Amino acid sequence: MEYQRLIDRILLETKPLAKNGKVASYIPALAEVSPEKYGISISTLERQRYNTGDHDVLFSIQSISKVFTFSLAYARLGHKIWERTGREPSGTAFNSLIQLEHEHGIPRNPFINAGAIVVADILLSIFPDPKKVLLDYVRELANNESINYDENVAFSEKASGHRNFALAHFMKSFGNIQNSVEDVLDIYFHQCSLALTTDQLACSFLFLANDGVNPHNNRQILTASQAKRLKALMLTTGLYNESGDFAFRVGMPGKSGVGGGIVAVIPNLLSIATWSPPLNEMGNSVAGFEALERFTTYSGKSVF
């Protein structure tokens, strides 16, 4: 498969679509990012890497970090994690408060904000220094020691994160947040601020294409069953209430973030990451979504 020619072509074809979206502005630091940026990277289990466009520029991975934190917590808690969060699509926006009242503070799934905040709370109960543990984890998965938090983005979100504070306090009133809201959100805002390139992001998700084993050092990160289930969650909830359309049009388990990144995997084959900041109304990258659709269409490869 000529992946290099394929992603070069897809980047050219889909770049103009970015003008149909809007860069996230509710986190002030994200609003400063150029809407013109666009990168695509593929990392394969055969140790090949293919890159095009702005693949070497760091960007804020935002909600994509929810996969890393969930994976860390899931490996420790196993099925007990389902006492704290559900695993059904929410059908509402990623930052919605509505369901939580009816569902007694148990978020629908770990990939909406409420669910990720509960996962941050779990990490804080397990690890004395969860931010360090998370950073080491992502560096190991990406096989790259230079990865770091972007303190400017974390601070900017903390200063404007009223909805996330509301979600956390609301869940605490139901007993589903055990630590202080300030401490839990400090982890959450930092995980969202993780800055990776598309190349690093594609590398860091390869363990999910490899039955839970990190191909860079052969360490079992998740059991094969846990990796399978995490991918099922990505397929059903990874793009918020556009997950159904992503499964329909793209056909890969994926995860998006409001920084404009999307990453997706094909088991036993590869991981692919796109970054184009302008978002559609659901909070997903317009050009990235289309690029991934074209990738599975042109290559004939998907999970279906």
- Show the site string, 283-302: x = touches ligand GLN by CB under 6 A, - = not: x-------------------
156 near ligand GLN (CB under 6 A): no
The verdict on whether 137 is a catalytic residue reads no
Catalytic residue among 60, 63, 90, 204: 63
Task: Give the nearer residue to ligand GLN in terms of CB position, either 63 or 200.
Answer: 63
In the bound state, the residue with its beta carbon closest to ligand GLN is 63
Q: 3-class DSSP state for residue 147?
A: coil
- Helix (H, G, I), strand (E, B), or coil: what is residue 55? coil
Q: Of 240, 250, 263, 265, which residue is the catalytic one? A: 240
192 part of the interface to ligand GLN, by CB under 6 A: yes
CB of 274 within 8 A of CB of 40? yes
Two tokens, residue 266: 């094909």
Nearest CB to ligand GLN, comparing residues 253 and 283: 283
CA gap 262, 280 in Å, rounded: 13
Nearest approach in angstroms of CB 259 to ligand GLN is 7
**Minimal distance in Å, beta carbon 113 to ligand GLN?**
5
Minimum CB distance to ligand GLN smaller for 44 or for 113? 113
Residue 158 annotated in active site: no
Cα–Cα dist 226/38, whole Å: 32
| 41, 95, 214, 236: which one binds ligand GLN (CB under 6 A) | 95
Q: Is 257 in the site for ligand GLN (CB under 6 A)?
A: yes
Residue of the chain from 14, 41, 44, 63 that contacts ligand GLN (CB under 6 A): 63
Q: Does 62 bind ligand GLN (CB under 6 A)?
A: yes
C-alpha distances out from residue 233 to 70, 168, 189, 267, 281, Å: 11, 22, 22, 14, 22
Catalytic residue selected from 67, 184, 188, 299:
188
Encode burial over 51-69: b for 16+ CB neighbours within 10 A, e otherwise: bbbbbebbbbbbbbbbbbb
Tell me which residues in 158-187 interact with ligand GLN (CB under 6 A).
164
* Residue 74 is among the residues annotated as catalytic for this protein: no
Report the Cα 115 to chain-centroid distance in Å: 13
List C-alpha distances in Å: 260 to 81, 116, 157, 218, 265: 29, 18, 16, 30, 17
Helix (H) or strand (E) holding 264, with range, is strand 261-266
Give the active site residues. Answer: 63, 66, 188, 240, 258
Site residues for ligand GLN per CB under 6 A: 62-63, 94-95, 113, 157, 164, 192, 257-258, 283
